[in-house]
Amino acid sequence: MKKHNFSAGPCILPQEVLKKAAEAIENFNGINLSLIEISHRSKEFIEVMETARGLVKELLNLPEGYSVLFLQGGASLEFLMTAYNLMKVNGKAGYMDTGAWSAKAIKEAKGFGDVDIFASSKESVYNHIPKKYTVPTDVDYIHITSNNTIYGTQFKEFPKTNSLLVCDMSSDIFSRQLDFSKFDLVYAGAQKNMGPAGTTLVIVKDEILGKTGRNIPAMLDYQTHIKAESMFNTPPVFPVYVSMLTLQWLKDLGGVAAIEKLNEEKAAILYKEIDKNPLFNGFAKKEDRSTMNVTFTLANDDHKEAFDKIWNAAGVSGIKGHRSVGGYRASIYNAMPKESIQVLVNAMQQLEKEI
């Protein structure tokens, strides 16, 4: 039976990407060596890294003056590196608290200076994006999380600020068209829309670095990695390669504009069923619903056993909601086909018929 993978991450990747990646494990580009045993200094892998970074710039239409890095440590390390590289000595930063990951970013930033949490949806279990807030002007940077994987909310408009704007885009990068000239630093773990866990994409405006007045350890300094072209230490070869394949797949599909249209269509199918089926309730406020992570609950938990049996029998996988929300979470990243969305919708409709 075909599995329909709605896992929040690591998540579904295009089948053709998985096939090429598997082939490269045994024999990379016909050189009779495995991708994971060649030198990261070899011309073969340097070409992979350069191609991957070039595809990022092309797909996101990045302006001149931005560097693209493939690092390690996930978004969790970026919570620390952001503050290290941008918050000045005795400085201050502004954060929006819209979910578990922004809360963790806030915790790290507090180790470097003052943190102004100028907007939060914590009191409502993060079921919406705050609308009424005043953006502080006395900060070194503003930090937001564009898409909240656990709670299924997503920024549709971004804060306007004269300070630096930093964004964690781990779960929705490459899913929609954005004007990246509005951002000064963007980071994203690969394991949603790019590749397997193990590498982290960082996009940073060069001119903002080196102005904190603090001594930054070499491994945590973005300038170190820019100068070394993401090769300061041995990079995560396999995740970078699979990310390159995924970005090429996206380009061949028509780029971000094409996938944005498809993502909106997929999300609309599932949200339509949630709204019309009396057995289910959407968790996130409608105006802030994510196109990547659809969160919903049963109107009556007595139906849980019956519903779980139905979707399991249909080959659906990975829709159990996060423990902080409960219910269900269907993550419908770029590689998720419409067919799988319909399988889940059919399961929801079957429950309605049987109850």
Q: Cα–Cα distance between 300 and 281 in angstroms, integer? A: 10
- For the chain, count helices (H), then strands (E): 9, 14
Q: Among 167, 143, 163, 147, which Cα is nearest to 155's?
A: 147
Query: Domains plus CATH for the chain?
Result: 15-253 (3.40.640.10), 255-354 (3.90.1150.10)
Q: Which two tokens stand for residue 206?
A: 């060069």
Instruction: Please identify which of the residues 92, 97, 140, 168 carries the catalytic annotation.
Output: 168
Q: Among 201, 152, 76, which Cα is nearest to 332's?
A: 152
What are the pLDDT digits (tens) for 257-281? Answer: 999 999 999 999 999 999 999 999 9
Q: Cα–Cα distance between 350 and 346 in angstroms, integer? A: 6
User: Quick check: is 114 catalytic?
Assistant: no
Q: Cα–Cα distance between 310 and 141 in angstroms, integer? A: 48
What are the pLDDT digits (tens) for 122-179? Answer: 999 999 999 999 999 999 999 999 999 999 999 999 999 999 999 999 999 999 999 9
pLDDT band at 28 (very low <50, low <70, confident <90, very high): very high
pLDDT band at 355 (very low <50, low <70, confident <90, very high): confident
Instruction: Please identify which of the residues 92, 97, 192, 311 carries the catalytic annotation.
Output: 192
Helix/strand/coil percent split, the chain, to 5: 40, 20, 40
Which one-letter DSSP state was computed for residue 144? Answer: E
Q: What 3-state DSSP class applies to 93?
A: strand
Q: Among 185, 178, 181, 171, which Cα is nearest to 93's?
A: 185
User: Quick check: is 97 catalytic?
Assistant: no
Q: Cα–Cα distance between 110 and 92 in angstroms, integer? A: 9
Q: 197 and 189 in contact (C-beta within 8 Å)?
A: yes
Q: 140 and 94 in contact (C-beta within 8 Å)?
A: no
User: Quick check: is 192 catalytic?
Assistant: yes
Q: Which two tokens stand for residue 128?
A: 């919406």
Instruction: Please identify which of the residues 92, 97, 101, 249 carries the catalytic annotation.
Output: 101
Sign, CA torsion 277/282/285/287: negative
pTM comes to: 0.96
What does the pLDDT read at residue 200?
A: 98
